[in-house]
Amino acid sequence: MKKFFALSLILFLGIAISCKEESEVVVTDKEYAQEFEYKVDQFADLRILRYDIPGFEELSLKQKELVYYLTQAGLAGRDIMWDQNYRYNLEIRKALENVYRNYQGDTTTEAWKAFEVYLKRLWFSNGIHHHYSNDKINPGFGAEYLKQLLTETNTVLVGEAFEVIFNEKDLKKVNKKKGVDNIASSAINFYDPDITDAEVEAFYKKAYKGPEGRPIEAGLNSKLVRENGILVEKVWKSGGMYGEAIDQIIGWLEKAKGVAENEQQAKSLELLIEYYSTGSLDTWDEYCIEWVTSTEGNIDWINGFIEVYNDPKAYRGSYESIIQITDFDMSRKMAVLSKNTQWFEDNSTIQDAHKKKNVTGVSYKTINVAGEAGDASPSTPIGVNLPNNNWIRQRHGSKSVSLGNIIDASNNAGGSGRLKEYANDEEEIRLELAHGKLADKLHTALHEVVGHASGVINDGVGQPKETLKNYRSTLEEGRADLVGLYFIMDPKLEELGLVENWEEVGKASYDGYIRNGMLTQLVRIELGDDIEEDHMVNRKWVSEWVFEKGAPENVIERVSRDGKTYYNINDYARLRELFGELLRETQRIKSEGDFEAAQELVENYGVKVDQRIHAEVLDRNSQFKSAAYSGFVNPVIKPIINEEGEITDIRLEFAETFEEQMLHYAKNYSFLD
């Protein structure tokens, strides 16, 4: 699971979330901004940044080779994500890229500028639907203009692939709203368009679920299609669906295995190759166990069909790759949390019956990213906790990482204007500036290391994707958030040497979370829309629930001043108790598989938006020029090869423009028709 970030490292919160998720980080001190040029581009609601790879030059040549091969393996699967997101994405992208490369006409017109922005937005979102809202992206130009561009560049784009850019079909990539057929109303290319919710549920009631007590992640690596009237899975593997790209992935993984840092790393890569070759989800579980228990070495990776946020039924995994180099200093500090995970579990507010007796093998590292692809690029998480299979996590532990150089890059490109606009008073601003960055990092660590590792499912209760269905992801993210929120204001953190003032760090975290959950995250959605993205929904239901339950005691006060709305926390200690109460209930819902309670919590507190406040927030935000979302171009890892064909060194280069990198990827990593 991932913890994401947006709003330019979440302009408002103060970090927090599996988890692709986000928070606010504010930087005003120019000494943090070094000579490295972070900003690449800005358009629509997006900005593109660069990130450096600290420590890369300290690696041995063999380690650099390992990083190079793993990043190449990740990029080889890039087109998979595009096709998963929507069935016409690749056809549309290739046509528009051909237009972009070959058009010789007037590039100063408003129509051409709109075309450029549209193509950039597609590159950012890996398709024609917004990466965060899931809404189809408005092209900003007409069908006749596109026909003109296609004709003048000898480019072919016809039929539904052309028409869907402009019509009202497939408006939502992922639709998890209550009261609709979530599968049929989602454009995501995990299911044939005529398949329904009921058919998916019926199919997986009878599907192979793995050995007793060791359930596989059924459906994780396949598309469900109808053949001759029968539903069947088209497995993503060598020789199967996406086989051309997967064969390229396998080739690079074979090279990586040859330069692995140790035998267990090599064994992990061997199992990953076997999984891609066979498509066996039992092998995937074997790989996950080998990978999660492989903790030696300075290089690690995430590669596979992993996060299920894009599936309304939480079965199918989006393709993703993140290559990691250990950040030694931060990882030493964060290891303290890992060593004390059992204390947090024992002192949690959840019912004793829902507590783990032995929290196994949780590891946490701050890492520096060396390359990303698929679901992690250009929009990237800031924290990841894997594997996702519950029984593996319970028996073998999990790996949690914080993406240090990604966070730093967004910090160094940030600003404090929005904080001052939405914070209630000078004390709230002071706390954020003094403690916000540390509070964010600690909440992320608590969310990933303690939160996702916490709790057990009752015997005989199915997996959350079966019991909680479309509410599974937002409930899990909210549950992990609540673990972090409860413990971030605990003297234990100061006792462990992680903070110097636990109370002020906790207050900064609470201020940021409520500010984001109640106000600032609303800039990410259009006026009149409901909140739909899982992490945004979870921040909303957590914040709204504690606001309502604390109202009789005025725990959180809604302040109206000069026509603007603010939220002021009057009683931090009582708010912590409320977070603990909600954590207890959320864990109960997960442990018991209580769908009705999950639905009530999410629908009553997490989805609907006060339109008056939403309009106000958008108006207040209009003064700021920085984009709502940040994404990244990857460093170019370039091998230096001698006359004998041997790699003698590997160096870093940096793309000058977003277009340069996207066109380079299109030329060199397009393995699917």
pLDDT per residue as tens digits for the range 269-284: 999 999 999 999 999 9
Q: What is the pLDDT of residues 160-199, one digit of tens each?
A: 999 999 999 999 999 999 999 999 999 999 999 999 999 9
| Mean pLDDT on 506-516 | 98
Strands 399-403 vs 381-386: parallel, antiparallel or unpaired: antiparallel
| Mean pLDDT on 125-152 | 97
Question: Is the pLDDT reported for residue 363 higher than 90?
Answer: no
**24 falls in which pLDDT band (50, 70, 90)?**
very low
Q: What is the pLDDT of residues 289-344, one digit of tens each?
A: 999 999 999 999 999 999 999 999 999 999 999 999 998 767 777 788 889 999 99
Instruction: Classify the C-alpha dihedral 550-551-552-553 as positive or negative.
Output: positive
Question: Is the pLDDT reported for residue 23 higher than 60?
Answer: no
Q: State residue 585 phi and psi, 5-degree precision.
A: -70, -40
Per the prediction, the chain carries an average pLDDT of 92
Question: Is the pLDDT reported for residue 20 higher than 60?
Answer: no
Q: Is 129 helix (H, G, I), strand (E, B) or coil?
A: strand
213: how many CB neighbours lie within 10 A of its CB? 7
**16 falls in which pLDDT band (50, 70, 90)?**
very low
What confidence score (pLDDT) does residue 627 get? 81
What confidence score (pLDDT) does residue 34 get? 45
| Mean pLDDT on 151-165 | 98
Question: Is the pLDDT reported for residue 4 higher than 60?
Answer: no
Q: Which pair of structure tokens corresponds to residue 173?
A: 């990539």
**29 falls in which pLDDT band (50, 70, 90)?**
very low
525 Ramachandran zone, left/alpha/beta (phi>0; psi -120 to 50) = beta
CA-to-CA dists, residue 285 to 281, 449, 662, angstroms? 6, 20, 33
> Between residues 328 and 533, which one has the greater pLDDT?
533
Q: What is the pLDDT of residues 538-585, one digit of tens each?
A: 999 999 999 999 999 999 999 999 999 999 999 999 999 999 999 999
Question: Is the pLDDT reported for residue 361 higher than 80?
Answer: no
Which residue ranges make up each domain of the chain? 2-61+242-630
| Mean pLDDT on 600-623 | 95
What confidence score (pLDDT) does residue 448 get? 85
What confidence score (pLDDT) does residue 7 get? 37
What confidence score (pLDDT) does residue 415 get? 61
What is the pTM (predicted TM-score) of this model?
0.78
Question: What are the CB-based long-range contacts (under 8 Å, 24+) for 210-217?
Answer: 210/281, 210/282, 210/285, 211/282, 213/391, 214/285, 214/391, 215/389, 215/391, 215/463, 216/281, 216/282, 216/284, 216/285, 216/389, 217/281, 217/284, 217/285, 217/315, 217/317, 217/388, 217/389
Cis peptide preceding 139, ω within 30 of 0: no
> Between residues 646 and 3, which one has the greater pLDDT?
646
- Where is 641: in which H helix or E strand? strand 636-641
Residue type, 220: L
**Do 121 and 46 touch, CB atoms closer than 8 A?**
yes
